Amino acid sequence: MVGFCCEGDKKLLVYEHMPNSSLDAHLFRSSAKTLNWRTRYQIALGVARGLAYLHESCLDYIIHCDIKPQNILLDALFVPKITDFGMAKLLTRDFSRVMTTPKVDVYGYGMVLLEIISGRMNANGECGSSGDDIVYFPIQVARKLLEGNVMSFVDDRLNGDVIVDEVERACKVACWCIQDREFERPTMGKIVQILEGLVEVDTPPMPKLLEAIAGRSHSACT
């Protein structure tokens, strides 16, 4: 925030101008200029750093609770800014008795990371042409990652012009973020270290909840 005005009935908040709109405009609109891999990775890393600051460096923890591409604004240099804190929760350092934890944002970040990699909405799903598979992106990623085939779900508009190690790293992070049990999800600080290449990360297992979703969706298709 740049400043504010509170004079009589005039109450204004002044924010930095974001000429590149929000992340969703670049990922999901066919008319938008395609973001190259370097820019996407820097956006992913920038958002991770921002969330790590909110979770770990503030006097009180701030949990955003609504991390999605629409709430990530981009400045003139495509530096990401997290916005829309309408659902945010402020917690003291002892939040052992509350239901909402920072791992809610970790899950949301994982879903956003999948959309950054693929350039498609996670919610878009359909039955496969053979009727025996489900085209739901988070499930596809988890399966393909276990098969060692990470390039199959990278945004086609990138024409393969990516850094494969970064793609694999980002996919692993995303799938760890969407694990069912909160304690299995990494902290945002750990995610920053992984994306920066400072910490190695193992291949995560298929999230059990997504396996269940895949099973129910398969039944609906057959």
Which amino acids are annotated catalytic?
A: 66
| DSSP letters spanning the chain | --EEEEETTEEEEE----TT-BHHHHHH-TTSPPPPHHHHHHHHHHHHHHHHHHHHTSSSEEE-S---GGGEEE-TT--EEE---TT-EEE-S--TT-S--THHHHHHHHHHHHHHHHSS-TT-EEE-TTSSSEEEHHHHHHHHHHHT-GGGGS-GGGTT-S-HHHHHHHHHHHHHHT-SSGGGSPPHHHHHHHHTTSS--PPPPPPHHHHHHHHHHHHHH-
